[in-house]
Amino acid sequence: MIDRPTTPRITPVDLGAPDVDPELTAILEGALTHDGSPLNIFGALGRHPKLLKRFNLLGGFLLNKGLLPPREREIVILRIGWKAQAVYEFGQHTVIGQRVGLSDAEIAAITQDPDEHAWSSDDRALLTLADELAEHDCVSDETWELLSTRWTEPELVELLVVAGFYRLVSGFLNSAGVQLDDGVPGFPT
């Protein structure tokens, strides 16, 4: 595995700087914040305002308006973040996962072999989906069959897009050296 940067490669936008575009300020002020400042991911993406605006549309849809139950969505996102070793992704979604009902034990188990935890068959299928996409960029017939007994076709589409979107996000975070926001946990110990 390639070492992850320990400092930002892309410096987050400083909203207090005099040359910040007003449109970017409006976008960042509407983004998720920590103590009044945009999360580091949005500050880094703010270096490309047009992309940030569209990124927020898709990401916001997946997190707030999608078909998937939040707990199951977070299982997929956390497993993708773990497989990519994206500590920022995993940390932010640990907080979200806790909010939507994942226990600390379940979040820790997401970092382990699924056989080491008493996952339901539906949860295990979600972990396998994430693993197969992370390793092969394709879900196996066996896993697809398991998933399709629980999820409708629109939900299956969303599961694939969630996993793919957060793989993209994980690669961005790792490569750009986006650092954890204050107070956000890293990987479980």
Cα–Cα dist 6/28, whole Å: 24
100 burial level (CB within 10 Å; 0-12, 13-18, 19+): middle
Task: Give 88-140 pLDDT, tens digit per residue.
Answer: 999 999 999 999 999 999 999 999 999 999 999 999 999 999 999 999 999 99
Q: Which of 103, 105, 111 is nearest to 85 (CA)?
A: 111
- Taking the CB of residue 142, how many other CB atoms lie within 10 A of it? 11
Q: What is the pLDDT of the chain when averaged over all its residues?
A: 94
3-state helix, strand, coil in the chain (%, to 5): 60, 0, 40
The fold for domain 70-176 equals AhpD-like (1.20.1290)
pTM of the shown model: 0.95
pLDDT higher at 55 or 30? 55
Cα–Cα dist 179/166, whole Å: 17
The domain segmentation of the chain, as residue ranges, is 22-64, 70-176
What is the four-CA torsion angle of 116, 117, 119, 125, rounded to 10 degrees? -30
| Residue 6 backbone dihedrals phi, psi, to 5 degrees | -100, 0
What is the reported pLDDT for 34? Answer: 66
What is the reported pLDDT for 157? Answer: 98
Residue 35 scores a pLDDT above 90:
no
